[in-house]
Amino acid sequence: MRKLANSELDRKNVEEFKASEKTPIIVVLDDVRSLHNIGSVFRTCDAFLIEKVYLCGITATPPNKEIHKTALGATDTVEWEYAKEVVEVVKGLKEQGVSVQSVEQVEKSVMLHDFKVETDVKYALVFGNEVKGVNQEVVDLSNGVIEIPQLGTKHSLNISVSAGIVIWDLFQQMQ
């Protein structure tokens, strides 16, 4: 086996990306403090043609050289918007018929492997602060809560890792 060169990967350019049909997933980052996590989420969203990213609260916005280190240009392809109040974003998405799913550890959460994507439904995935998680008010407003099963000694995964896992799972179910 030979490793492929970047030129052989047949990737979209920025214009092709913007013109492409998007995966019906919106990502909401609430009070994410790590610039590298933000950039990594952008890069994952680019990889799976995610429709949009909302950056809320203290979550930093592009252009930012620390975000760029991990986003590698994905902030130029993935549509994004800043909103101070995550609750207003969630309410607005729900009014548009979007199914809002927080990714958190709560009572009565649905384990990721049990979550079934519905046809013709647009989803918003809410990821919270690295320490405090998803705001309780947002959890209360959500249509549901998805939890990633974890079997080790740690209580959580890095937010960019969580985003990658959940986005991939929903993406592959939608294919």
Set out the domains of the chain in order of their start, with CATH numbers: 18-174 (3.40.1280.10)
Mean pLDDT of 127-156: 97
- Torsion angle of the four alpha carbons 45, 20, 87, 38, in this order, in degrees rounded to the nearest 10: 20
pLDDT score, position 127? 98
Say which DSSP state 31 is in. S
Note the pLDDT tens digit of each residue in 48-78: 999 999 999 999 999 999 999 999 999 999 9
pLDDT score, position 152? 95
Note the pLDDT tens digit of each residue in 1-33: 999 998 899 899 999 999 999 999 999 999 999
Contact 89, 56 (CB under 8 A): yes
Contact 42, 75 (CB under 8 A): yes
pLDDT score, position 157? 96
